[in-house]
Structure 1
């Protein structure tokens, strides 16, 4: 079996596992000022499954079109499945999961579902992968809401955009129509197991360390955005530190990053996040691991 990976922007990927096509998230139809991917959800004609990491628009939007047009089944949280039902996706195409499930994707391919965590969006973190963020430890939810209010964080990331320019106006218009939920629904992480090896994927910068250290995948696809969430607390360090810790727990042979492009201007940096600090951190911590840096729609050979 030959296993190929296409990065489709943000945290969305397409895995081709022999004859089986699996989308990891589905968000390709982005704000018009974002770089073009080369594929739209409405144009996808071949898909067997869509795995949804969580229910925010920048991950789930597009899954409804792929499911309706191809008959693909969607694996995601109960909130993700609720959003899909509202979009007229048939109930028999939905596989609600919360962690602990194993689903068969093909005769010799399965996926295990694990509970995960979202990045700490209630407190600001640097858009630089190298700059450390500290503090905000041990807070209850009402205190975290107070932090968000003081820092001017709205209910959606889009409110961070400045008002008055065309890019911000485009973003607000996009957010008004994008399919998704204001709730994560409980982020999930996935381990896809094949005869050629295993692939771990998560679409946001959060993790339970006790889960990750037991998995040992051959390939790890890791989100590189926001302030990392380690066991429910914001990382006391940088994004590069967070990715390094995840990689040390997982010990993969190959690492791929996601969620680091300029997926939502004007909030995200032009040119995307500079991943050179992550590259340096990984080279120092796991020198034997290979960091793949594919462009959009590259069809990168992962395994096989």
Structure 2
């Protein structure tokens, strides 16, 4: 069976491979100004949900899909705590922080294991019964990664269009790091309705404020919880690495094995290398990531599409040109809601 991938905007994808249905992030219900590609009510099947981090444009929807389908959710501790509070059953929640290797099974095998109808993996008393790893359809390796940074000192400094060719050097302060994102999210972006009169907002900002004050706010956090990336092993020549933000640790990226055949790479923001602002452009960082990963055959951008707040979009052309000129990787541009061959 051919492996396919669908993109639903931002960093949300659906992968179908080896009999598995896998969601990468779940931001399907979005601010009203953004296109709606797939309704959660139309999601009837999911074996696994992987969450890159716990922010408003990644985690919402995971609760509803998990409860509806019985999918296991693999995410960092912050996201897991949010989902637990949102009512996702404990036996569907798998907290990770990086370094884990996990066998993946179709839902029917997990059900069979619960009934004792297939070989069972060993585990502590009271733990949910899981199939023996020999029955796995695929596996995933979890790695620590990093959320991107943003140029300037506040959201007011963010450009309307993010140019992946623009070079940034130095930091807004000597301590510039993801704490700026955490506190900027908590006291700034998620409170923007308290700081700006509604009649001073454009339609995108109004839709964003309405969204973060909707029931979706119960399934998000101002704290990313620790950005993760996931390396999926579907078979020989079929390895997919999903890195849902423009950041990472070079010591990890260069040791990922097996190296991916396909890389999904977020391309928005200012790159975050080893917890420090990257001196250079997003395009230059993407080239470095590709080289550290052994130059995957295919690169797919994400987090570059239309947004309700600045940056409203990302110009990926410099990044695409740099990748294809300086590495052996080729960029594949996905269209919203269209199923494409993954490998």
State the TM-score, normalizing by the size of structure 2. Answer: 0.80
Aligned pairs for 1:123-162 within 5 A: 123=152, 126=159, 127-136=162-171, 139-140=174-175, 155-156=188-189, 159=192
d(CA) in 1 for partners of 2:208 and 2:52?
Answer: 22
Residue range with higher mean Cα deviation, 203-212 or 124-133:
124-133
Partner of 1:166: 203
Do the aligned residues in 2 keep the contact of 1:156 with 1:182 (CA within 8 Å)? no
Do the aligned residues in 1 keep the contact of 2:190 with 2:212 (CA within 8 Å)? no
1:254 aligns with one of 293, 298, 305: 298
* Helix, strand or coil at the partner of 2:213: helix
Give 1:302 shift: 1.3
Spell out, residue by residue over 1:111-163, the C-alpha distance to the aligned partner (whole angstroms, 9 max, x if none): 01001111114845652111111211883379975xx88xx995337849973
d(CA) in 1 for partners of 2:191 and 2:325?
Answer: 35
- Runs of 5+ in structure 2 lacking a partner? 106-135
Do the aligned residues in 2 keep the contact of 1:158 with 1:171 (CA within 8 Å)? no
Structure 1 residues 137 and 268, CA gap change in structure 2 (3 angstroms): closer
Do the aligned residues in 1 keep the contact of 2:270 with 2:282 (CA within 8 Å)? yes
Residue range with higher mean Cα deviation, 116-125 or 243-252:
116-125
RMSD of aligned Cα (Å) = 2.6
- Provide runs of 4+ in structure 1 moved above 3 Å: 121-126, 140-145, 152-155, 157-163
Partner of 1:8: 8
Structure 1 residues 201 and 153, CA gap change in structure 2 (3 angstroms): same
Partner of 1:22: 22
2:143 aligns with one of 110, 114, 126: 114
State the TM-score, normalizing by the size of structure 1. Answer: 0.89
Do the aligned residues in 1 keep the contact of 2:22 with 2:50 (CA within 8 Å)? yes
Residue range with higher mean Cα deviation, 161-170 or 225-234:
161-170
Do the aligned residues in 2 keep the contact of 1:125 with 1:227 (CA within 8 Å)? no
- Runs of 5+ in structure 1 lacking a partner? none
Q: How many residues align?
A: 295
Partner of 1:225: 268
d(CA) in 1 for partners of 2:329 and 2:201?
Answer: 45
Partner of 2:109: none
Partner of 1:88: 87
Rg larger for: 2
Do the aligned residues in 1 keep the contact of 2:19 with 2:137 (CA within 8 Å)? no
d(CA) in 2 for partners of 1:81 and 1:202?
Answer: 19
Partner of 2:248: 207
Partner of 1:62: 61
Aligned pairs for 1:265-284 within 5 A: 265-269=308-312, 272-284=313-325
1:237 aligns with one of 276, 280, 292: 280
Structure 1 residues 16 and 141, CA gap change in structure 2 (3 angstroms): same
